Amino acid sequence: MSVCKICSQDLVIELDPDDFNEATSSAAGGASTTVPDDLCLACECHFHWQCLLDESPKVANTLACPSCDTLLAPQQPQILTQYHNEGGIQVDLDILPLIKEEAYLEANPAARPARAFMTMCGEGDVIGIVELLKAMDEDPDEDDMSTAELLRYQDPLDGMKTGLHSAIEKSQQESVWLLLWLASNFPTSSFPDEVIQEAEGMGAGRETAQGFDIRSLRDDQNRTAQDVAGTMGDIWAGLLVTGALTA
């Protein structure tokens, strides 16, 4: 059996007993507390998933295998792999976006909450957004960004988009309204009653962005969130008519 090129251990991981269930047991081939964790690069070097991620800064810089130095993306910006874990085998899995993200976060640890925030905006997790902002307010760290900075964060790994850009692209209406509530000058009286009630129920105030209007920010294609919404057909037509996205 191959071993990880970094730690020289078998390409399996131990399961947390709390996560062990019949489905995992079946996928692992019986009543075992280990499951496969085998990430194979095009050069046929094998790694544990986390072991390779720990090498993200080097891989992102060289686009080469951290073990044999084979160039992994000679013609196109992809690192295609085969990954075997408890869910089966994934073929042609492109890990380059994740490698770039991990490398960026290692160099910019203060951006970790921002990356979580962007994910929540794109998934419509409005409760998660509010809880993250509250946690940052209650336990501030001098090295971390403020809640106002978080709300106006522009993602360098995704075309300098804001959370509002992401929520619109992913058709997440609840996220859009929450971000407008938290980080725009759109009049309170113009919000739908249900949006006001939900925001107040979550304890989300309107001064979180300290007067900064997220609607004015542009991505690396010089597009505001309103511009993006205008390219998506009827899905945002009603919101555009209200002027809610107009800075």
User: Does this model's pTM top 0.85?
Assistant: no
Digit-coded pLDDT (tens) for 103-134: 998 998 888 899 999 999 999 999 999 999 99
Enter the tokens of residue 120: 């929540």
Classify residue 1 as exposed, middle or buried by CB count within 10 Å of its CB (0-12, 13-18, 19+): exposed
So what's the architecture of 109-242 in CATH?
Answer: Alpha Horseshoe (1.25)
Mean pLDDT over the full length of the chain: 89
**Residues 183-206, mean pLDDT to the nearest whole number:** 92
Longest distance between any two alpha carbons in the chain, whole Å: 66
Domain ranges of the chain: 12-104, 109-242
Question: Nearest CA to 57 among 117, 112, 20, 108?
Answer: 108
What pLDDT score does 55 carry? 95
What pLDDT score does 32 carry? 57
Q: Which residues of 64-89 are buried (b: 16+ CB within 10 A; e: fewer)?
A: bbbbeeeebbeeeebbebbbbbbeee
Between 21 and 116, the higher pLDDT residue: 116
Q: Is the pLDDT of residue 61 over 80?
A: yes
Residue 92's identity, in one-letter code, is D
Q: Which residues contact 180 (CB under 8 A, 6 or more apart)?
A: 164, 186, 191, 214, 215, 244, 245
